[in-house]
């Protein structure tokens, strides 16, 4: 029995299949965790959704920003971007079933037995473990059983950019969504920055990667995330596992076997034109 965690797929289905074959993934006894962004930009987003959904309890993903955007376009809130290459999803016979399944995925996974947290982008520098879990549940409750249309239609904004336990309503939910699905850099006062997407060594001096800020949680429990392809080959602090290695940017797909921390990589099998 083994536990595998894989970076952003973004429609890179063939590379995932090759990795699963290489490790001889057995859904009857192994577990696959995915850091979100199953869809967009690659050619086979539909196949990625169908595969992960078909694995049932043998797979668990979290929601990424591209996943939420797909739900938004499915609801007619935003227009489909041609470069996202998701037309096959919208014409699929199981379209509604797939979107409903995706909407019911969590923002945060805490595997207490194996001792790790998984989110698409990261954990707020102002949150402890219980706050992070409670905040994720707040949004998940609305997405899965509440007025999800209103939530998704109002999530597209960069503010508020700083956490306060006094945040309420849509401001609170939007901050939570932005942390879990969009965050990369922060200012020293923990305000979120959404403009900078480069590697830390290329960033302006006033910006710091979220995981380098002084939050005791970052040292207490391993955190697995994706979202930030510019971190490829960057040295991470202890307990921080960045798995987005930019396969859809013609780099590679990365899988981590949790039990022994062995890394498996698969180079992009085609030249993705994004």
Instruction: For domain 3-267, give the fold.
Output: Purple Acid Phosphatase; chain A, domain 2 (3.60.21)
Exposure of 27 by Cβ count < 10 A (0-12 exposed, 13-18 middle, 19+ buried)?
middle
Domain map (residue ranges) of the chain:
3-267
Exposure of 41 by Cβ count < 10 A (0-12 exposed, 13-18 middle, 19+ buried)?
buried
Tokens of 169: 């309503």
pLDDT of residue 94: 98
CA distance linking residue 247 with residue 230, whole number of Å = 11
Q: What is the pTM of this model?
A: 0.98
**pLDDT < 50: residue spans in the chain:** none
Residue among 121, 123, 106, 107 at smallest CA distance from 221 = 123
Exposure of 249 by Cβ count < 10 A (0-12 exposed, 13-18 middle, 19+ buried)?
middle
Q: Which residues make Cβ contacts (< 8 Å) with residue 91, sequence separation at least 6?
A: none
Q: Which residues make Cβ contacts (< 8 Å) with residue 174, sequence separation at least 6?
A: 154, 155, 157, 159, 160
pLDDT digits (tens, 9 = 90+) for 120-132: 999 999 999 999 9
Tokens of 184: 């990369």
pLDDT digits (tens, 9 = 90+) for 74-90: 999 999 999 999 999 99
């Amino acid at each position: 029995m083994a536990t595998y965690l894989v970076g952003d797929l973004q429609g890179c289905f063939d590379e995932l299949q090759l990795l699963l074959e290489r490790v001889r993934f057995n859904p009857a006894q192994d577990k696959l965790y995915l850091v979100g962004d199953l869809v967009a930009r690659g050619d086979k987003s539909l196949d990625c959704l169908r595969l992960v959904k078909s694995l049932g309890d043998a797979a668990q993903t979290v929601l990424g920003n591209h996943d939420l955007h797909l739900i938004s376009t499915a609801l007619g809130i935003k227009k489909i971007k041609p470069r996202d290459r998701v037309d096959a999803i919208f014409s699929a016979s199981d379209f509604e079933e797939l979107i409903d399944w995706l909407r019911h995925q969590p923002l945060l996974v805490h595997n207490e037995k194996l001792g790790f947290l998984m989110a698409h982008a990261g954990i707020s520098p102002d949150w402890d473990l219980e706050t992070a879990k409670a905040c994720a549940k707040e949004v998940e409750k609305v997405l899965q059983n509440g007025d999800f249309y209103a939530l998704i239609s109002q999530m597209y904004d960069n503010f508020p950019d700083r956490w306060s336990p006094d945040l309420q309503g849509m401001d609170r939910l939007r901050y939570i969504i932005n942390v879990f699905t969009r965050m990369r850099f922060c200012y020293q006062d923990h305000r979120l920055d959404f403009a900078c997407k480069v590697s830390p060594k290329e960033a302006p001096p006033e910006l710091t990667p979220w995981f380098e800020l002084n939050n005791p949680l970052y040292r207490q429990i391993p955190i697995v995330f994706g979202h930030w392809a510019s971190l490829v080959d960057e040295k991470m602090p202890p307990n921080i596992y960045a798995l987005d290695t930019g396969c859809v940017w013609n780099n590679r797909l990365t899988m981590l076997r949790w039990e022994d921390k062995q890394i498996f990589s698969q180079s992009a099998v085609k030249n993705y034109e994004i």
